[in-house]
Amino acid sequence: MTTEMVAPAWMHQQITAEQYDSWSEEQCSGIEIVDGMVVMTPGASPRHNRLARIVANVLDSAGGVEWNADTDFDVQLQDVPLTNRRPDVVVYRASMIDNMRKDSGPNPDGIR
């Protein structure tokens, strides 16, 4: 007897920004959205995460008071079709910090 793994239906159809915004942080973890399609992303190694944090710290210091650098943010690059990526480090205008949500990241206009 074999067991087949069947992907959920939502992985085979384009999703909108409104649908994505309604998902919980848990549902959004481990995925990116490319041209409206859900793409599973593997978890990074502890070494990779550490290096990303070191790079973010250096960029944060170099950015002065005008720019921030952080890790672990989705960045919405376009609405239609929806494209969200989760880069290792995000550099954004410091003035955007109150507009940040852990699961949606900065507006692309605030990204350097």
Residues 7-25 have pLDDT tens digits of: 777 678 999 999 999 999 8
Residues 64-111 have pLDDT tens digits of: 999 999 998 889 999 999 999 999 999 999 999 888 755 555 444 544
Domains of the chain: 9-110 (3.90.1570.10)
Q: What is the pTM of this model?
A: 0.74
CA-wise closest residue to 27 among 19, 72, 80? 19
CB atoms closer than 10 angstroms to residue 4: 4
Tell me the one-letter amino acid at 43: G
Run of H or E including 92 = strand 90-93
Q: Which of 6-21 are b and which e, b meaning 16 or more Cβ less than 10 Å from the residue's Cβ?
A: eeeeeeeeebebeebe
3-class SS of residue 11 = helix
